[in-house]
Copies of this chain bind each other. A is one copy, B any other.
Amino acid sequence: MARKRDPDREAQRRSDILQAAARAFIREGLRGTSIATICKEAGISPGHLYYYFPSKEALIEAMAEADLAAIRGYAQHLHTLDELLDAAVASSEFMSHPYNEPGKLLEGALAFDLHAEATRNPRIHAIMDRHYRDISALFGERLAAAQKAGGVNAAHDPVKLARLVGAVREGLLVMSAIGPDMVDAEMRSVARRMLEAAARG
């Protein structure tokens, strides 16, 4: 007799596996991590892993979805241009010590691996392209609301502005991974003022 499926339990198990896989990827690299390593880290069998995620790409796709849900969650608390820019610039602080942001999966070392892999693997490229577009669209909506409230120059396309903010955020993350002291509070503050002037001007 087949065991009855328990959706809550399966969702929890999926989430646990994603966290375990992210830890392994961050530690040993996306290419350097075997299915055996992920199973060991998650404490499950290969058959069990395969039932949830049939490939590394399926894991990355699910991580992107989980990240988008988490980002959507905190973005709904960001209303003004100030709040949006604070959030964008502050995120590079996380790079100074642990290499990924708590609760987010595609951060730090794994994000950098994915940038490289996106140039080689069309499936990873498609996942990352979609992910960055989803995030730009999400923050574009928040910036459009700030624009209606008068905080952002009406001439800007809010999605393009969100991409510019996103590009600066990515650059600060890379720089702070390489030299944490190169991206200090002053640098973040200068970057934030620069983005603010671009958004208002």
Q: Which residues of A contact B (CB under 8 A)?
A: 26-29, 31-32, 99, 108-110, 112-113, 115-120, 125, 128-129, 132-133, 136, 160, 163-164, 166-172, 174-175, 177-179, 182-183, 186-187, 190-191, 193-195, 197-198, 201
Q: A121 to chain B: closest CB distance in Å?
A: 10
Q: Which of B108, B136, B172 is within 8 Å of A167, CB to CB?
A: B172
Residue of B nearest to A129 (CB): B179
- Max chain B Cβ within 10 angstroms of own Cβ: one of A27, A109, A179: A179
Flag if B112 contacts A119 (CB, 8 Å). Answer: yes
Flag if A167 contacts B163 (CB, 8 Å). Answer: no
Q: Give complex CA distance A163, B92 in Å.
A: 14
Residue of B nearest to A127 (CB): B178
In the complex, which residues of chain B have a beta carbon less than 8 angstroms from the beta carbon of A129? 178-179
In the complex, which residues of chain B have a beta carbon less than 8 angstroms from the beta carbon of A160? 186-187, 190
Q: Give complex CA distance A99, B117 in Å.
A: 12
Q: Which of B32, B171, B178 is within 8 Å of A172, CB to CB?
A: B171
Q: A196 to chain B: closest CB distance in Å?
A: 10
- Max chain B Cβ within 10 angstroms of own Cβ: one of A28, A115, A170: A115
Flag if B132 contacts A119 (CB, 8 Å). Answer: no
Please give 8 more A-B residue pairs, beta carbons under 8 A apart, in addition to A163-B175, A194-B197: A109-B116, A109-B119, A110-B116, A113-B113, A132-B182, A133-B182, A194-B195, A197-B198
